[in-house]
Chain A
């Protein structure tokens, strides 16, 4: 059981470049989430997917898009990266949105120059 996996672990982008962060879970969870973590800001929700086929905006969705490819996979896309998107990105999953424990991936460290 790998839990929640994320790729890549680290990425450097130039301003304006695009990339997709991949997330997969093998726990048969219904809900998946993307967060960003910045110093002094804690975790902020970017997007979430309550169940396969649905996605919703979180607190800071601007500049991002998501795809719930299937029950296992939830990807985050940066269409035109900006330095303000330099952050550590975490994917998480839970069995349902209410009120279940979340399981987090190891994170993707993104640097936008």
Chain B
């Protein structure tokens, strides 16, 4: 069974840093593109970043470029999102999500339950 479990959320002051992790199981972690997506309270989904299956391709949304870093810890089967210079508007539920390959149609087919990040003084 595919499982994605996020952790690391919490309360942080503006300008602070936080690292989120997503423990993956039930599939070959290195064979899939992995994404971070967030949802501010009462708002829509915002894609943040992805890391390709080979780790050679990494892309960010303009809203987080230069502040957030996505990485993959293969030994721990874990996806990581390092966040710095956090702003009040970064307050959201952060989801880890797996995207199927283009040969399988390519949608984002599994999501974690999310972890809440609150940026406030």
Bound pair (A, B) = no
Binding site for A on B (CB under 8 A): none
